[in-house]
Every structure is written in structure tokens, then in C-alpha cells.
Structure 1
Amino acid sequence: MIRAAVVALLALAGGGVAAEALATAGTDPVAPPRHDAADALLMRMSEAARSVNYQGVVVYQSQNQLDTLRVLHGFSQGVELERVEALTGEPREIVKRDGKVICLLPRDRRVMFDRPTPKNLFVSLTPERIAQLAPVYRIENLGQARVAGRRCNGLAITPRDDFRYGYRVWADAQTHVPLKVHLVAPGGQVLEQMMFTEVQFPAQIDEADFEPALRNDPRVIEQARGEAVPSVPAPPLPATEQIPAFQLGQLPPGFRVTLRTLQPAADGQGMVEHVVVTDGLTAVSVFGAPQHDHHGGFEGQSQMGAIHAFGRVIGAMRFTVVGEAPSQTIRLIGEGVQTPQIVAEPAHAAP
């Protein structure tokens, strides 16, 4: 499903990072009773969002911003392809192909992509993953509705506390592709909504149709990303890098660390450690890097729509926490960052 790509596309001018979560095992509280029909529908939505061909026009609203986008999504021989093009505002476009991302954006805007954007509305769901959701979300049927002239089945994913957002999703009754999505605050306020106004489900889509439509437009520039970050633990940190690993203290209920990677910084200065925490549906990224410029980055809290960020500096390290989650969740995770007592200065090359 393209909701995450839509959010990323609309945020191009603002820059920043996006969260991706891949699960590893942990221990959860005992799950309350589940509604099997709702769970099954959630599974079908998740799989259809990834593996069904669809194309259409989407209206996206966040706060007072309203945008219209053209969406093309395909799945061929195990490879997911997607193209999202803005039809309103400045020309911009995102094309994804099997974990690779191409972004086309206005020439006068400076954008920094530190991580690939997520692919799907939901993370890949398994029965085990749905069981992980049970202690912190209620999953209930919403009944039927019509979206883009098609009959849809609705599902509510409601948080049991104030540490995460909820969803209301209406999926096509025939293909199970989500056609309307509400992102809902703990108090019930709709923070964002996305809805197809036109949609088709072609049996096949020509690969040429996924080529960037704006590639030859003189008003835009192209930025490419490589392969997605592999979902493997970070290797032991070389002593020459002099960047200590950090740990997270208290996490919100249901959240666990599922991914830890180490990568060169975008500016080439040192390494960035990336930790993902997730409750199975909501994902938050924590980035730790050397603080080369004492005036760089930001401290405190920041917000862009439903995405909150929290920055702080500890010794010679700068930390950024970002995710589509309530501000108290981001702050709690950020304030729980812990580093070794002694932080070494960045290594300098020998003369």
C-alpha cells in the first residue's frame, strides 16, 4: 500500500528520515481474546497491499494540506514496484523498485534521504505478528462502505493506550487492497486521511510504466537511493571508529528493539547507528552519530504532521528519534537513550 510513500512524497521539501521495522522475537504479555475474522481481514489487507496490481488517483489530507496524487503499484516475479506522482503543488515523484528508491523533486529544494522510505501501509504481517499486536491494539470490524465506487470492508485498529496511533482502514471487498485509510490520534481525532477516488486492478502492468514520468522535466532533479538497509544486527564496532554503541532505557508498553544497523554517515564523517523499535505496527527510529558540529542538528521536539521527532546531545554524540507516533512516545524513547560513561573523540587520520 502506498500511504507511506504518499507521506514521504509530500514531505520531500522538509527532508528527514523514515522508519522501517523488521521483527525479531521478544516476549509479550499474554494476549487477550482475538476476533479471528478481523485478524484474517488484516492479514489479507497486508498481503494485498504488497502483491496486487493497482493504479488510480489518491486524495491525501493532513491538517490543512490537501494533495492529489497518481499511484501505480505492481508486483511481478516477487518484485514490488511503485510510482507515486504529485498532481498538485510542485512537481515531485517517488519510484520504488525492489527496495531501490528514486526521488524526483523541485530543483530549488534541498532534501536529505538518510534511509529508504517504507513500502507498505502495514508491515508484513504473520499470525505471530498479529498476536504481538493484541496487548496494545484492539482489532474490530467496521462494516461495509463504498470507496471509489467499490464495495469495501472496514477495519478499526484501536490503541489500548496513548503511546500509539490507531487506524481505520477500508479495503476493497474483492481484492482486499486498502482504498481508504484514516490515521487516528489516541483521542479519536483524524490526523491524516487517504482515499482513492479512482482505482483499477489491471492483470498486468508494463514495466516501462514505472519509469519516472518527471525524469526529463527541467524543473526537477533526481536523487537515487541504493538497496534498503539489510535487516541484520550491526557488526561489532571497529575500535578505529571510536563510536560507542548506545542503549535504550525504558520503552513504551509493547515496544521492543527489532533492528540495529551501522552505516557510514551521509556526509562521510564517521558512522551512524540506527536502532528501530516497534510494537508490530508502529515503528520508531533512533539514530546516533558523532556530534562533529556543535551547532548542527536540533535539540528538543519537532513535528511535521503526524510525524514527531526528538533530538538531544549526550557528550560527543547526537541522537535523533523520529516516527509516526504521539509526541510522548518519541520523547520517552529519546530520554531513555543511554551511552557509556566515557565517549571517545572521533578518530583522526594519521598524518
Structure 2
Amino acid sequence: MNSKPFSLLAAVASALLAMNYVAAQVPPPVPAQASSGTAAEAKSINDWLMRMHEASKKQAYIGTYVVSSGGTISSAKIWHVCEGNQQMERVETLTGAPRSIFRHNDRVVTFMPDHKVVRSEKRESLGLFPELLQSTDSRIADFYKVKREGADRVAGVEADIVVLVPRDTMRFGYRVWTEQKSGMVVKLQTLDTDGKVLEQAAFSELQLDAPVKIDKLLQMMGKVDGYRVEKPVLVKTSASAEGWVLKAPVAGFTPMSCYKRPAAPSASQGGDEPLQWIFSDGLASVSLFLEPFDRQRHDKESSMSMGATQTMTRQLGAYWLTAMGEVPMATLKLFANGLERKK
């Protein structure tokens, strides 16, 4: 029930799949009276995000992407194409267990040849790389400021470097390399509160304007003979409808969506299904997973860091919380401390 899989390999594949898929809406400019970011700063950030949005819609490419996180290096090859309003990607992992992942608009199909399983699902939001433009009312300039750091070459292309510096200690920063002509993201570093690199992802080779065809990728996506097809279902809901509230908001983070996974048909009690509540400040995201407490599986509260992703678990009465996000551990604790069961 993860928005970001616990498996690093799966997380790498998910990041690669989503890295240039940008939501159709862009945050509106921050009003001049905003408490932190000025209107000029807000416009600068939004103009930059819009440029990447346009690049993600128009750019066709083939490339090899390498992710370094938590002392582990993973890589994958990606094919990306856009035709009109159609988005299509194919990702082949090059390290770890073999995976072939296809995304056509909001449909994602994952081939796991070791197990002869295909997972087919619809995703309302895949997230971004970094997770940009998640919230249509996000005041990004209130919580981040932009600093330009010159230019560099990445995978043979000229790129501009921009740093998104957090205005508080509640979130991490980002150093982003964008290809000068198109604005496409070609390298990203996630920075801790001291500015040190927590995680890095970059193209090691890149062919822009590559001859990638949607029809051919769709044919490959549909070849499921010999595989068992699984179709996980997420049911959209709200935290309040499931009996949960956040007593105090965490600065900058807005509820984005809430899902539950249906329990077995024999389970008739509502509210016992695993729940995922997703928050975002427009760049970083946090997921709160809530499920009934099971003493056999949930015997130890813990916290863990892997690159930029922090995870903590905690018992909340009759329920078990797993909080996960690309934020400092202290931010996750604020979410956990603020959760309250209302029914």
C-alpha cells in the first residue's frame, strides 16, 4: 500500500517512470501580500516550473538514468514520447530484479518476469522528479527560494543549474539541472537541511528527439500472454470519512488525496481497510499509511532513512501508522503527533 515502494529498486523504477510527467495544472502566482515569498520570486519559480512542464509534454528521448541513494546505485533505461495529449513511457531496470514498466497517461503496467506477474493499475498522480506541481494552490515561493548556480554538462548536453532552498527546516532542498534548450530535467540532487547531498539521480546517456513511437510501446504493453494479471484497486475516500483528522496542520503541506484498498470480501466492517493519506507542499510529499494493529506484524516501532526518503512506524491505539516522505524525520513526527482518531 505504498506510494513510494519500500524496495529501492521499485522506488528507482517509480522515480524514473515519473521524472518528467508533470500534472496539467501549475500553481498560481503567489499574491504580493504573501507572508514569505515575494510576487517576483513566485513568478520566477512558476515560470521555471512551467518551462519544465512544457518540456515534459513535448520532448521525446531515450536515456539511461542512474540513481544513488542510501549508498546503493541503481539504474534503468527509459523511452519517453508525447504525441498530442498522449504520454507514453517504457522503463527497463538494469540492476536488481528485472522489471519492465509502461505508463500510458494514467495507466501503469509493470511486468515482473521472475514471477510471471503483470500488475496493471490506474494512478491519479504518479508524482514527479522532483515531485513538482502536485498542488494547484501550493504557495511554493512561501517555503522555497530560488538560487541560480551557473551551468554544467550532463550526459553530453548543456544544462542550467538552479537550487530550490527551503526557507525552514521542515523540508529538504533540491539542486536541479535542466537542459538549456528545452528545460527538461537531466539531473537532480536532494539536499538535507545542511545542504549536503542525500540522493542523486542523473542521466548517464541521453538521446533527445529520439524516434520513439507510441504505437510500438502500446503493443509491448499489451503483450501479457503467459503472465498472471493483477489489478490492484484503490478506492478514493477522505480521511474524515474514515475517522481521521490532523489536529494541527504541518506548515506548507496540503492534503492531496486519500485512498483505501478494499479488504477481503468476507470483511464487512468499514474502516478496517488500509488507508493512505497523501500530503504535499508542491515539491515534497508525505504519505500516512494507517491499518488495524496486528501484534504479529507490528511488534516494533521504528524509524529509517534511505537517501531522501524517511520512514517511521508507530502504534496509535488500535491502529498502526507508517509515515513516509522526502522530508526530515522531525516533519514526519509532526504528522504522527497530530493524527487523531475520531470514530
Instruction: Check whether TM > 0.5.
Output: yes
Aligned to 1:248: 246
Task: Give 1:167 deviation, angstroms.
Answer: 0.9
Q: Structure 1 residues 174 and 186, CA, compared in 2 at 3 Å: closer, same or farther?
A: same
Q: Structure 1: which amino acid aligns with 2:180?
A: A
Contiguous gaps of at least 5 residues in structure 2: none
Q: Structure 1 residues 102 and 194, CA, compared in 2 at 3 Å: closer, same or farther?
A: same
Q: Structure 1 residues 122 and 88, CA, compared in 2 at 3 Å: closer, same or farther?
A: closer
Q: Structure 2: which amino acid aligns with 1:196?
A: F
Contiguous gaps of at least 5 residues in structure 1: 238-243, 344-351
Output the CA distance in 2 between the equivalents of 1:51 and 1:228.
Answer: 30
Task: Give 1:138 deviation, angstroms.
Answer: 0.9
Task: Give 1:70 deviation, angstroms.
Answer: 0.6
Does the CA contact (< 8 Å) of 1:23 and 1:259 recur in 2?
no
Aligned to 1:240: none
Does the CA contact (< 8 Å) of 2:188 and 2:202 recur in 1?
yes
Does the CA contact (< 8 Å) of 1:9 and 1:92 recur in 2?
no
Task: Give 1:282 deviation, angstroms.
Answer: 0.9
Does the CA contact (< 8 Å) of 1:249 and 1:333 recur in 2?
no
RMSD of aligned alpha carbons: 4.4
Aligned pairs for 1:66-81 (under 5 A) are 66-81=73-88
Aligned to 1:234: 238
Partner-residue secondary structure (3-state), 2:153: strand
Partner-residue secondary structure (3-state), 1:120: coil
Aligned to 2:61: 54
% of aligned pairs identical? 27
Output the CA distance in 2 between the equivalents of 1:258 and 1:159.
Answer: 21
Residue 306 of structure 1 pairs with residue 308 of structure 2: yes
Aligned length: 323
- TM-score, with structure 1 as normaliser: 0.75
Aligned to 1:272: 274
Output the CA distance in 1 between the equivalents of 2:231 and 2:197.
Answer: 32
Aligned to 1:327: 329
Q: Structure 1: which amino acid aligns with 2:254?
A: R
Aligned pairs for 1:14-53 (under 5 A) are 30-33=35-38, 34-35=40-41, 36-53=43-60
Question: Could you list the per-position Cα deviations for residues 71-114 of structure 1 after superposition, in whole angstroms to 9, with x for gaps in the alignment?
Answer: 11122232222222122333223222222222234637999999
Output the CA distance in 2 between the equivalents of 1:83 and 1:107.
Answer: 18
- Which one of the candidate residues 116, 128, 135 is aligned to 1:120? 128
Does the CA contact (< 8 Å) of 1:59 and 1:67 recur in 2?
yes
Partner-residue secondary structure (3-state), 1:264: coil
Does the CA contact (< 8 Å) of 1:103 and 1:223 recur in 2?
no
- Which one of the candidate residues 66, 89, 95 is aligned to 1:82? 89
Aligned to 1:318: 320
Aligned to 1:259: 257
Residue 296 of structure 1 pairs with residue 297 of structure 2: yes
Aligned pairs for 1:207-218 (under 5 A) are 207=214, 208-209=216-217
Task: Give 1:65 deviation, angstroms.
Answer: 1.5
Output the CA distance in 1 between the equivalents of 2:210 and 2:281.
Answer: 35
Output the CA distance in 1 between the equivalents of 2:265 and 2:69.
Answer: 32
Partner-residue secondary structure (3-state), 1:134: helix
Q: Structure 1 residues 224 and 246, CA, compared in 2 at 3 Å: closer, same or farther?
A: same
Residue 180 of structure 1 pairs with residue 181 of structure 2: no
Task: Give 1:267 deviation, angstroms.
Answer: 9.4
Partner-residue secondary structure (3-state), 1:187: coil
Q: Structure 1: which amino acid aligns with 2:250?
A: P
Question: Could you list the per-position Cα deviations for residues 288-312 of structure 1 after superposition, in whole angstroms to 9, with x for gaps in the alignment?
Answer: 2333x32224633233332122222
Does the CA contact (< 8 Å) of 1:284 and 1:321 recur in 2?
yes
